[in-house]
Structures are given as C-alpha cells and as structure tokens.
Amino acid sequence: EVQLVESGGGLVQPGGSLKLSCAASGFTFRTHWMHWVRQAPGQGLVWVSRISGDGSTTSNADSVKGRFTISRDNAKNTLYLQMNSLRAEDTAVYYCARDWNDGLDMWGQGTMVTVSS
C-alpha cells in the first residue's frame, strides 16, 4: 500500500526538542522530493520545509530557519524533521507530503506537536 505514516509528535516544553519521522511505503522513496507542512489548530496550511530525493538540497520557511532541520534516510524510506528551540507558535499538526509534478500528491495522517509548559 502506498502511504506515509508520521510519528514522534507529543507535548514538549518551550525551548525543548522533538524529532518527527515519516515512514514511506509502496513507492520509490528516493526519487521524490519530500515536504513538511503544518497546520495550527483552526488555522490554515503552512509550508515548513522540503528536501530533494538524494538529500543534498533543503529549504526551510523563515519561521523555522536555524531551529528545524529536515533530513532523510533513503535506506530506511524515512523522512525526518528535527525541531529544536520549540516555541508555543510551533504548536500544530505536522504533515509529511510527497512532491509529484510540483504538487503534494500524497500526505500522511499528521502528528500533533504541542509546545506548552
């Protein structure tokens, strides 16, 4: 089955760290750019980060630069988002998504990250 499954979300204190994972299956993972997109409760979609198929090229939103790092392990078919120095405004559902023809054609179910003391 073709799918993306996120994990690693949870409750973390401000200033803390969390690492999200996104396990891919059913397609050739290494040939696709991959993205992270987040959605705060009751709000719209916000693009966070993307990485090339071989992992050599990454881009991040200004709001997470210097704090979040996207990476991937193509041998494990897994995408990651390392989140450091977390803030209350990072509270959101985090989705991983597959890039296809410059659109995001497959999404995971999302994992909730709550930053609160």
Closest CA to 18 of 80, 108, 72: 80
- Give whichever of 41 and 75 is closer to another protein, judged by the CB atom: 41
| End-to-end Cα, the chain, rounded Å | 39
- Give whichever of 13 and 57 is closer to another protein, judged by the CB atom: 57
Q: Per rule CB under 8 A, is residue 38 in the interface with another protein?
A: no
Q: Per rule CB under 8 A, is residue 41 in the interface with another protein?
A: no
- Residue 102's CB is within 10 A of a number of other CB atoms, namely 7
Question: Cα–Cα distance between 29 and 17 in angstroms, integer?
Answer: 26
* Minimum separation from the CB atom of position 102 to another protein (A): 4
- Count residues binding another protein (CB under 8 A): 22
Q: Per rule CB under 8 A, is residue 23 in the interface with another protein?
A: no
What stretch of H or E contains 22? strand 18-25
Residues 63-102 interacting with another protein (rule: CB under 8 A):
95, 100-102
Beta bridge partners of 99: 104
Residues forming the site for another protein (CB under 8 A): 35, 37, 44-47, 50, 59-62, 95, 100-105, 107-110
